[in-house]
Amino acid sequence: MPQTFRRGLLAALVGAALLPAAALAAWPEHPVKLVVPYPPGGATDVIGRIVAQRLSTALGQQVVVDNRGGAGGNIGADLVAKAKPDGYTLLMGAMTSHSTMARLERGKISYDLQKDLTAVQVVGYVPLVFIVHPSVPANSFQQLVSHAKANPKKLTYASSGAGAPQRMAVEMFRVQSGADMIHVPYKGSGPAMTDLIGGQVLMAAETVPAALQQIKAGKVRALAVTTPQRISMLPDVPTVEESGWKGFDVVSTFGVMAPAGTPADVLAKLNAEIGKIMQDPAAKEQFLQQGVYTLAPQTPAEASGRLKAEVAKWAKVIDETGVKADE
């Protein structure tokens, strides 16, 4: 074989081997779609729009928010789970809600949360707070427990959806306290808060952003936050753990996810750029104004570990409480 031919063949083989990497390095070559699996205006949508705006600048391509609400977030999640794994279709996931729905709707949803999706980066969390109508004779979490146990089936509690963290927090409270209470489901935090303010229901565990204005106005009373430590938005409100319930930790966690099989280089680039956003002081303040506490950046493996832990935690809670999706 002539030497010039051998050199040409070697160059061609090397070029072929490098082609995928070179093509991948160009990602993204056109706009990226970030699916928000809920209607506009909610926490997931607000977080998604902050991420999309800042990621557009970082990537040099427009990241477009696509709201695909319905079925407790399952419609949008299913769309991304079945999308081409090329980095151009992503999910702004409500990781806690997706984890609870994976258990509540097992056998009914057509995608597997952990097999069909991969976590790219955990963005942050929204804390919850136990609140009561002013007519409830409880000024502390301990007093709420005593009141609920002394008055079976008289304390009503609102929730914003079957698999919502708001409901899971109260179900944990119900089972651990042994209190017999009545669940009143609503289609979202808005109507639930309206009826709580009006006294049609008496208690809820609601996200801090949804409850903060009403707490400050004295229309509802805050008894305890569900995070391990006190939070800056309600510094004078103790934690459930301070109130004597060790290990009580319920937050709504949010993160960006991609279809399983998305190239590792794309995942690494997304992970790094979103991590930079989370560390930017202006972005952190923008998130906090919406009630979102950002986390330290994680690797894709660490983010997947967080998702796995969420799934395991809520499967255990659902099995222990006997919660049903249609109750």
Residues forming beta bridges with residue 257, ordered by sequence position: 91, 119
Residue 73 backbone zone (phi > 0: left; psi -120 to 50: alpha; other: beta): left
pLDDT attached to residue 25 = 56
Q: Tell me which of 92 and 166 has the higher pLDDT.
A: 92
Q: What band does 270 get if pLDDT is binned at 50, 70 and 90?
A: very high
pLDDT attached to residue 5 = 44
Average confidence (pLDDT) over 196-214: 93
Place of tokens 């977030």: 73
Residues in the chain: 327
Report yes or no: 153 and 142 within 8 Å, Cβ to Cβ: no
Among the listed ranges 82-96, 160-174, 254-268, 277-291, which one has the minimum average pLDDT value? 160-174
Q: What band does 3 get if pLDDT is binned at 50, 70 and 90?
A: low
Residue 49 neighbours by CB under 8 Å, 6+ apart: 65
Q: How far is CA 43 from CA 124, 164, 320, in A?
A: 11, 12, 28
Question: Which percentage of the chain shows pLDDT scores above 90?
Answer: 68
* Long-range pairs for 227-231: beta carbons < 8 A, 24 or more residues apart: 227/127, 227/251, 231/127, 231/293
pLDDT tens-digit series, residues 167-178:
899 988 988 899
Task: State the Cα–Cα distance between residues 121 and 267, nearest whole angstrom.
Answer: 9
pLDDT attached to residue 21 = 45
Place of tokens 């301990």: 142
Residue 232 neighbours by CB under 8 Å, 6+ apart: 288
pLDDT attached to residue 24 = 46
Q: Angle at which helices 264-279 and 43-59 pack, to 10 degrees? A: 110
Task: State the Cα–Cα distance between residues 74 and 35, nearest whole angstrom.
Answer: 12
Q: Is the pLDDT of residue 20 over 90?
A: no
Average confidence (pLDDT) over 88-109: 92
Q: Is the pLDDT of residue 307 over 80?
A: yes
Q: Tell me which of 228 and 24 has the higher pLDDT.
A: 228
The fold of 31-125+252-321 is D-Maltodextrin-Binding Protein; domain 2 (3.40.190)
Average confidence (pLDDT) over 96-107: 89
pLDDT attached to residue 161 = 74
pLDDT attached to residue 23 = 43
pLDDT attached to residue 55 = 97
Residue 325 neighbours by CB under 8 Å, 6+ apart: 72, 101, 104, 105, 162, 163
Burial level of 110, CB count in 10 A (0-12/13-18/19+)?
exposed
Task: State the Cα–Cα distance between residues 49 and 40, nearest whole angstrom.
Answer: 10
Report yes or no: 278 and 67 within 8 Å, Cβ to Cβ: no
Task: State the Cα–Cα distance between residues 161 and 97, nearest whole angstrom.
Answer: 10
SS3 sequence, 116-180? HEEEEEEEEEEEEEEEECCCCCCCCHHHHHHHHHHCCCCCEEEECCCCCHHHHHHHHHHHHHCCC
CATH 3.40.190.150 residue ranges of the chain are 31-125+252-321
Name the DSSP class of 240: T
Max CA pair span of the chain: 95
The overall average pLDDT reported for the chain is 89
Q: Tell me which of 2 and 174 has the higher pLDDT.
A: 174
Q: What band does 326 get if pLDDT is binned at 50, 70 and 90?
A: low
Helix/strand/coil percent split, the chain, to 5: 45, 20, 35
CATH 3.40.190.10 residue ranges of the chain are 127-225
Q: Is the pLDDT of residue 277 over 70?
A: yes
Q: Is the pLDDT of residue 8 over 60?
A: no
Q: Is the pLDDT of residue 10 over 70?
A: no
Residue 308 neighbours by CB under 8 Å, 6+ apart: 114
SS3 sequence, 202-222? CEEEEEHHHHHHHHHCCCCEE
What is 127-225's CATH superfamily?
Periplasmic binding protein-like II (3.40.190.10)
Among the listed ranges 11-20, 62-71, 124-133, 227-236, which one has the minimum average pLDDT value? 11-20
What is the reported pTM? 0.82
Geometric angle at alpha carbon 278, from 293 and 28, rounded to 5°: 135
